[in-house]
């Protein structure tokens, strides 16, 4: 296993834990924010272990800020850093590894997003980047499935900072008791396992709870001569969640969610 972190001490500590438990691991300190860093990481992995079969994209950085506080002066720099780590980072890592996975006919990729995508104040940039990771997962899942490469995404909820007193928080007792990284890890391991059947899927992993996260489409309201007023008047139908489809791809969405409402034959 290759443990990548630009913070040398953090990577070395994880390597020590793995080797102490009887595993084999080495540390890598290249940044994933550049294509060159991704290539260097891939080369080190191949030099140490030969073929690469599993990639877990867990690099992250957080710069919490209210959206209104992201001025034209400070906003671009904040956005650039977050995008470089969270969204481009996985691409930089996978670009040099993906062709080999396709050629060998096997690969497991686990992308790590965040429960912040549900909507969390002060996390606009972070949540946007993590939502991008979800879209990347869906597409790579489609592209990789023809070559034995499975790609899935987890949205973990776990805390590593033990210092704050959370006794007064709404979920404080649950966080303290259950929302730990070691309770999230088994879900990641399962998704990286050769027996896992899923690909292109999203999973919320709330400590010891794993659940499929699906993008759905309601039945909605169809009007072949639409006006703003028709949607206003049928708003309850647009929003009604009692009937819905779960598209597995863009084509599936068109085929099963959209086309039936136009009463046209599907070719």
Sorted by sequence, the CB contacts under 8 Å of residue 9 that are 6+ apart come out as: none
The gap between the terminal CA atoms of the chain, to the nearest Å, is: 48
Q: 121 φ, ψ to 5°?
A: -60, 135
Instruction: Say which residue the tokens 């606009």 belong to.
Output: 124
CB 256, CB 245: distance < 8 Å: yes
Catalytic residue among 106, 126, 146, 231: 126
Which contiguous run of DSSP H or E holds residue 200? none
Rounded CA-CA distance 220/124 in Å is 28
Length of the chain, please?
Answer: 267
CB 223, CB 261: distance < 8 Å: no
Catalytic annotation present for 146: no
The total of other beta-carbon atoms located within 10 Å of residue 55's CB is: 24
Give me the active site residues, please.
126
């Amino acid at each position: 296993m290759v443990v990548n972190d630009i913070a040398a001490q953090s990577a070395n500590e994880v390597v020590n834990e793995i080797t102490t438990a009887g595993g084999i691991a080495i540390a890598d300190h290249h940044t994933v924010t550049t294509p060159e860093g991704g290539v260097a990481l891939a080369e080190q992995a191949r030099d140490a272990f030969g073929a690469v079969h599993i990639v877990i994209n867990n690099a992250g950085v957080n710069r919490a800020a209210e959206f209104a506080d992201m001025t034209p002066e400070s906003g671009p720099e904040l956005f650039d850093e977050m995008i470089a780590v969270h969204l481009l980072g996985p691409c930089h890592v996978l670009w040099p590894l993906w062709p080999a996975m396709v050629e060998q006919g096997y690969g497991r990729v686990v992308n790590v997003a965040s429960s912040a995508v549900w909507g969390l104040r002060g996390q606009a940039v972070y949540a946007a980047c993590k939502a991008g990771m979800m879209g990347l997962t869906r597409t790579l899942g489609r592209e990789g499935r023809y070559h034995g490469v499975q790609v899935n995404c987890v949205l973990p909820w776990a805390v590593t900072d033990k210092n704050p007193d959370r006794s007064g928080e709404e979920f404080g007792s649950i966080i303290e008791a259950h929302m730990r990284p070691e309770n999230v890890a088994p879900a990641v391991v399962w998704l990286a396992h050769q027996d896992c059947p899923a690909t292109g899927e999203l999973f919320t992993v709330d400590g010891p709870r794993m659940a499929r996260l699906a993008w759905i489409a309601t039945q909605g309201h169809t009007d072949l001569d639409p006006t703003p007023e028709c949607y206003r008047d049928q708003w309850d139908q647009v929003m009604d969640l009692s009937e819905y489809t779960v598209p597995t791809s863009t084509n599936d969405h068109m085929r099963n969610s959209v086309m039936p409402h136009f009463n046209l034959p599907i070719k």
